[in-house]
Every structure is written in structure tokens, then in C-alpha cells.
Amino acid sequence: MATFPNPGLREIYDRDDLGTIWEAARVAGVKPGTIRVWVSRGKIEPMPIGNGQPLYHLPTVEKAAQVKPGRPKAA
């Protein structure tokens, strides 16, 4: 399960909330390669839509982009 899971397909009412990796990168302010890294590390996941091209829930990507990785603070 992703750190930032997608809503269920029935909970997505606006088609504009789904986008390609390029649109996801634009929303997050990162490069498409970063989106691929987030997917491989389990931070986000593409929507399970069987059209061949992965689509991303853009509001979820935007939330994930707001959380920056950081180093643990020393005690």
C-alpha cells in the first residue's frame, strides 16, 4: 500500500483529477523521473485503469509533494 493511497475509482467524480506522469510532475513541481521514483518507493501509486498508460490522482500527488523527506533529528 502506498504512503499516499488513491481514493477508490467510485470516489473520483472529476476526470480532471486524473493525469499522466507529465501532469503529475507538473502538479508536484518535480520531474517525471521523480514521480517514477515515488512509485517505486511506494510513496504514490498509479490508478488501476487498464488503458495502458498509468494515470495518477493529481490531488493525491499534490499531497505527497508537500511532504519532503528529511533526516531524523539527533537526540
Name the pLDDT band for 10 (thresholds 50, 70, 90).
confident
Residue 72 has pLDDT above 80, yes or no: no
pLDDT in the model for residue 49? 79
Which residues are CB-contacts of 21 (< 8 A; sequence separation ≥ 6)?
A: 32, 35, 36, 54, 56
Residue 33 has pLDDT above 80, yes or no: yes
For the chain, domain boundaries: 9-66
Q: Which CATH architecture has domain 9-66?
A: Orthogonal Bundle (1.10)
Reply yes or no on whether the pLDDT at 37 is more than 60. Answer: yes
Cell of 18: 486524473
DSSP string, 26-41: HHHTS-HHHHHHHHHT
Query: What confidence category does residue 75 fall into, taking pLDDT thresholds of 50, 70 and 90?
Result: low
